[in-house]
Chain A
């Protein structure tokens, strides 16, 4: 029988295009120290460290857990490294949660990061590999055709993407840690920004950020911290192949299966009704309506209508990405963990200006690869 597990500390860096004031070690320590402080703990209280990031080639540092062990207080402890593509921040938190749920450890520190300014993600994503279709244009070039397919399938009008781009940037104005603070953002500004990958314009794409996220996860008999715990009500991961005839890249089966699994664990039958908010991996604007459908917040083909109605806005009935989301901060390896962390902040009531009133139950989602890897958790203020 699995033990109960809760988030008792969260920490994140100020995400920026270039954090030239810190090394990689300094970056991860900033987030980890904040998480420890939030949990009223010190390094010596931690039993194990689980770290995740996206491809090592992004910084040119192979298996960085080896170098980062002392910076994260892991010397003499288990140090574990996760890599599941863009979903890695979420998967890393899940591996840490399992170390507690299994009864092996009482308090686990989990950290994820990316220092994109040390690297060129576009280049690292475009290295030609034998027998594999070249990405060449980075992630945006890969996803743009899927977005076109969604628009054709659902009949969504062009302005939906721009609405998400504006909404998430307006939310980011309430989040002091967000990378982008675009006070003047509006539909016109997005529309006038450069076309990158048709139909995606510059302001409909995520930024490249330096940043880190950290959480302390604890067993029921090891709780501490200034805020109430965020109890984990469900965890799930799913993967499917990159390509095969008949694969639905717009509405991937792995995403649907993953949410069905995590909802069953958490007793969710109507996500839009039962969740108070959600943090979902939306690196390109159109992924909000696409994931609204994939995650069952509405019927197929209705995702864009939900976005258009304002339901997912900060003052809507189901706020999505109140933190500003990936569109406002994108330290790739940490972007998934930030989703998981932000929903923990919401149900603990510590989200400050972007706190969703009375948030008690929330969904965190991350995806990666060619929208084929999914990780999710449900956290709540009540004990499961």
Chain B
């Protein structure tokens, strides 16, 4: 299995685009949010929708509060004549995985992947509670920040981290975000100052939480001749896998992420050096857990884009990690990179994508 997951067929990230991440976009609907992103992701490489053979999107109805939110969003692409198209109720990183699987069969050469979501429309704490076991957990409405705080507390109790570590990660992320024009929260505030914040839920202070973000993103995947046509120096996906853990928080060691470790192993992450990592750790402490699970030492730069602490558009934040990791390679800053995406409470489900330049 692992040999196959280390890609029989090379697939490249041919183009990446994302919306300006904002706290609240109340001027556009989902189609209007997506249209410029789709235009940019095609425009970057001078192609149109006619050049892709498959379309896959990621979104969730629970952000818009109505069923079938992906249906109208499809108008952002304009699927006429009809297209081969699919949708996952997951982060766009998993939509990318579905497209990548199809490309492995060798019958198509290019795919468009996109995702979108407006986190600003409702109360995320209430909404994300509905992800939980509907019989034994959801009726108690445990909110997502409190669950993350339980995990952070476990990490401190295990002696694996301190609150100062969380502040250092937050300070670094938002300082790095100053060089990312698409970031939502970017500033240069020392960790010591951040530690003066009030707790939101102990031991998590305001800075250790992700911002609430409206956003959208898109990637074009290409294989075969198209990968070469659309880029002089393609960025290749060389390993790709995702794994899930049990839902019961009490049955998990919240200070580790065995699903990330397994996915990294299948994706062949340890087969070479890692120059940069884009990690989808919405809460500061989660970066520590994922870094360890990926086996990255302290020298590997994490989230030079600012990461999810600088912009966390639900359903797109994982896809953006893959796009940002590819951008690091494309710019020449890295030769080999890893991108990570997560879903579920306390990092229950994790995806690892290994990227390499030439």
What residues of chain A have their CB less than 8 Å away from a CB belonging to chain B?
A: 1-2, 23-24, 47, 54-70, 74-85, 91, 94-95, 98-99, 101-106, 118, 124-125, 127-132, 236-242, 244, 252-254, 257-258, 261, 369-370, 372-373
Is B82 a contact partner of A238 (Cβ separation < 8 A)?
yes
Other A-B pairs beyond A58-B67, A61-B138, 15, CB < 8 Å: A61-B131, A62-B130, A63-B62, A66-B131, A66-B345, A68-B247, A76-B243, A76-B258, A76-B259, A78-B243, A81-B89, A82-B89, A85-B68, A104-B5, A369-B71
The listed residue (A60, A91, A101) touching B86 by CB distance below 8 A is A91
The 10 closest A-B pairs by CB, nearest first: A55-B67, A254-B82, A102-B104, A239-B85, A83-B89, A62-B130, A79-B244, A240-B82, A2-B105, A66-B344
The listed residue (B78, B94, B132) touching A67 by CB distance below 8 A is B132
The listed residue (A63, A91, A125) touching B131 by CB distance below 8 A is A63
Assess A238 versus B84: contact at CB under 8 Å? Given A61-B138, A104-B101: yes
We find that the number of chain B residues with CB closer than 8 angstroms to chain A is 66
Contacts of A240 in B (CB 8 A): 79-83
CA distance A242 to B60 in the complex (A): 19
Q: Is B301 an interface residue (CB 8 A)?
A: no
19 contacts between A and B (CB under 8 A): A54-B67, A56-B61, A59-B134, A60-B130, A63-B131, A65-B244, A66-B343, A76-B244, A76-B259, A76-B262, A77-B243, A77-B244, A80-B94, A80-B242, A85-B68, A104-B5, A105-B1, A242-B71, A258-B82
Q: Which of A68, A69, A254 neighbours the largest number of chain B CB atoms within 10 Å of its CB?
A: A69
Give the Cβ gap from B9 to chain A, nearest Cβ, in Å.
9
Assess A62 versus B128: contact at CB under 8 Å? Given A56-B62, A241-B79: yes
CA distance A264 to B130 in the complex (A): 43
The listed residue (A99, A127, A238) touching B66 by CB distance below 8 A is A127
Contacts of B87 in A (CB 8 A): 82-84
Please report which residues of chain B, range 234-254, place their CB below 8 angstroms from some CB of chain A when the two chains form the complex.
241-248
CA distance A352 to B213 in the complex (A): 54
Assess A239 versus B82: contact at CB under 8 Å? Given A61-B134, A66-B131, A83-B88: yes
CA distance A118 to B138 in the complex (A): 14
CA distance A47 to B5 in the complex (A): 12
Contacts of B156 in A (CB 8 A): none
Give the Cβ gap from B97 to chain A, nearest Cβ, in Å.
8
Is B72 a contact partner of A253 (Cβ separation < 8 A)?
no
Give the Cβ gap from B292 to chain A, nearest Cβ, in Å.
18
Q: Is B358 an interface residue (CB 8 A)?
A: no
CA distance A237 to B74 in the complex (A): 15
Give the Cβ gap from B42 to chain A, nearest Cβ, in Å.
18
CA distance A372 to B75 in the complex (A): 12
CA distance A23 to B244 in the complex (A): 21
Q: Which residue of B lies closest to A375 (CB)?
A: B86
CA distance A80 to B262 in the complex (A): 16
Contacts of A70 in B (CB 8 A): 246-248
Give the Cβ gap from B56 to chain A, nearest Cβ, in Å.
10
Is B86 a contact partner of A95 (Cβ separation < 8 A)?
yes
CA distance A244 to B78 in the complex (A): 10
Is B246 a contact partner of A69 (Cβ separation < 8 A)?
yes
Q: Is B283 an interface residue (CB 8 A)?
A: no
Is A103 a contact partner of B248 (Cβ separation < 8 A)?
no
Please report which residues of chain B, range 74-120, place their CB below 8 angstroms from some CB of chain A when the two chains form the complex.
74-75, 78-90, 94, 97-98, 101-102, 104-107
Is A62 a contact partner of B131 (Cβ separation < 8 A)?
yes
Contacts of A132 in B (CB 8 A): 72
Q: Is B44 an interface residue (CB 8 A)?
A: no
The listed residue (A57, A105, A257) touching B67 by CB distance below 8 A is A57
CA distance A243 to B86 in the complex (A): 18
Give the Cβ gap from B121 to chain A, nearest Cβ, in Å.
11
Q: Which of A132, A258, A261 neighbours the largest number of chain B CB atoms within 10 Å of its CB?
A: A132
Q: Which residue of A lies closest to B65 (CB)?
A: A127
Assess A78 versus B242: contact at CB under 8 Å? Given A67-B132, A127-B67: yes
Contacts of A23 in B (CB 8 A): 135
Give the Cβ gap from B315 to chain A, nearest Cβ, in Å.
10
Contacts of A59 in B (CB 8 A): 134
Q: Which residue of A lies closest to B9 (CB)?
A: A102
Q: Is B133 an interface residue (CB 8 A)?
A: yes
Contacts of A373 in B (CB 8 A): 85
CA distance A357 to B358 in the complex (A): 58
Q: Which of B97, B133, B248 neighbours the largest number of chain A CB atoms within 10 Å of its CB?
A: B133
Q: Which residue of A lies closest to B8 (CB)?
A: A103
Give the Cβ gap from A3 to chain B, nearest Cβ, in Å.
8
CA distance A104 to B90 in the complex (A): 20
Contacts of A82 in B (CB 8 A): 86-89
Q: Which residue of A lies closest to B258 (CB)?
A: A76
Q: Is B349 an interface residue (CB 8 A)?
A: yes
Q: Is B127 an interface residue (CB 8 A)?
A: yes
Q: Which residue of B lies closest to A252 (CB)?
A: B82
Is B88 a contact partner of A129 (Cβ separation < 8 A)?
no
Contacts of B128 in A (CB 8 A): 62
Contacts of A74 in B (CB 8 A): 244
CA distance A242 to B1 in the complex (A): 40
Q: Is B16 an interface residue (CB 8 A)?
A: no
CA distance A118 to B243 in the complex (A): 29
Q: Is B64 an interface residue (CB 8 A)?
A: yes
CA distance A237 to B53 in the complex (A): 12
Contacts of A91 in B (CB 8 A): 86
Q: Which residue of A lies closest to B67 (CB)?
A: A55
Is A85 a contact partner of B88 (Cβ separation < 8 A)?
no
Q: Is B166 an interface residue (CB 8 A)?
A: no
Is B29 a contact partner of A67 (Cβ separation < 8 A)?
no
Please report which residues of chain B, range 131-158, place their CB below 8 angstroms from some CB of chain A when the two chains form the complex.
131-135, 138
Contacts of B131 in A (CB 8 A): 61-63, 66-67
Q: Which residue of B lies closest to A246 (CB)?
A: B80
Is A66 a contact partner of B1 (Cβ separation < 8 A)?
no
Q: Is B4 an interface residue (CB 8 A)?
A: yes
Contacts of A239 in B (CB 8 A): 55, 74, 79, 82-85
Is B262 a contact partner of A67 (Cβ separation < 8 A)?
no
